[in-house]
């Protein structure tokens, strides 16, 4: 039997909406979404309000993050079961999982982002008995990892579909350059980075300079809806910086165009 009230914690709006809609599709009656760890902690501290039957939380967020939330749950003897979700490497997820197991946290399992409906359904139906106290991981060993830096969730899904076909199993979305920097600084090596030149918080060309200084070995594909001359200039600049740039594609790109660049 599915939980009646689920609390979802993630700092990326698209991921929140994705998991929320999947839970509603599965028949969960009440889904609460918060984008910050301190909001989740406030809900758990509130003795007057209803408590969630399940918490699904991202691991890596601006502090307090998923690890801090686990620590709070452990220190305050909260019995609510927890599911961890992350686009992080398997090694980091294993470390956080081990922490949860050795503390007083009822860990149900883990989910790899972007969360698939089938994985979420399997996790909630484990052993055919709904939630249990046995930790179960539905994430697979990461073979390839990719980071898509784009504020358009539809383009993210298009790119992710191609990457999955080419064997990428760990695909993350950064909807801002700041989120991309945070991801690269907290994760293991990224196997591919797809960069939109027009981001809401910073120029993608500016970000190429950051990549040059800190992550010059990350393979890059540039994407943009700007004129071809702009894409070509960015491509040449990335080459001049010594970056491993694989190509530049026009947005909105097709599966075929992106696949050609990745061959």
User: DSSP secondary structure string, 203-253?
Assistant: BHHHHHHHHHHH-TTS-EEEEESS-HHHHHHHHHHHHHTT--EEEEEESSP
Percent of the chain with pLDDT over 70: 86
Residues of the chain with CATH 3.40.50.2300: 5-137, 145-262
Average pLDDT, the chain: 82
Confidence label for 227 from pLDDT (cuts 50, 70 and 90): confident
Domain 145-262 CATH assignment equals 3.40.1710.10: no
37-46, 182-191, 244-253: lowest mean pLDDT where?
182-191
pLDDT at position 171, please?
83
208/202 Cα distance (integer angstroms): 11
CA angle 178, 214, 211 (to 5 degrees): 60
Confidence label for 89 from pLDDT (cuts 50, 70 and 90): low
Question: Whole-prediction pTM value?
Answer: 0.51
CATH architecture of the domain with residue range 5-137: 3-Layer(aba) Sandwich (3.40)
- For residue 42, which of 74, 15, 69 has the smallest C-alpha distance? 69
The arithmetic mean of pLDDT across residues 231-237, rounded, is 90
Query: For residues 33 and 11, is the Cβ–Cβ distance under 8 A?
Result: no
- Look up residue 246 and give its two tokens: 């694989």
């Amino acid at each position: 039997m599915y939980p009646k009230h689920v609390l979802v914690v993630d700092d990326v709006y698209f991921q929140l909406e994705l998991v929320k809609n999947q839970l509603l599709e599965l028949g969960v009656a009440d889904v609460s979404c918060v984008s910050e760890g301190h909001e989740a902690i406030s809900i758990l501290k509130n003795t007057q309000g209803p408590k969630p039957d399940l918490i699904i939380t991202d691991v890596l967020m601006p502090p307090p993050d998923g690890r801090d939330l686990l620590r709070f749950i452990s220190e305050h003897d909260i019995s609510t079961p927890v599911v961890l979700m992350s686009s992080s490497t398997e090694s980091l997820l294993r470390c956080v999982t081990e922490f949860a197991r050795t503390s007083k946290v009822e860990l149900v399992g883990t989910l790899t982002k972007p969360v698939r409906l089938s994985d979420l359904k399997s996790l909630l139906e484990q052993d055919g008995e709904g939630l249990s106290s046995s930790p179960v991981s539905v994430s697979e060993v990461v073979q390839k990892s990719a980071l898509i830096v784009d504020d358009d969730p539809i383009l993210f899904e298009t790119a992710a579909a191609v990457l999955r076909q080419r064997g990428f199993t760990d695909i993350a979305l950064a909807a801002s350059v700041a989120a991309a920097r945070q991801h690269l600084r907290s994760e293991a090596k990224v196997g591919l980075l797809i960069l939109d030149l027009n981001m809401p918080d910073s120029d993608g060309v500016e970000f190429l300079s950051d990549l040059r200084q800190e992550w010059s070995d990350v393979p890059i594909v540039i994407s943009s809806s700007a004129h071809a001359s702009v894409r070509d200039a960015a491509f040449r600049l990335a080459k001049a910086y010594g970056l491993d740039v694989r190509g530049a594609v026009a947005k909105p790109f097709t599966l075929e165009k992106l696949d050609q660049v990745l061959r």
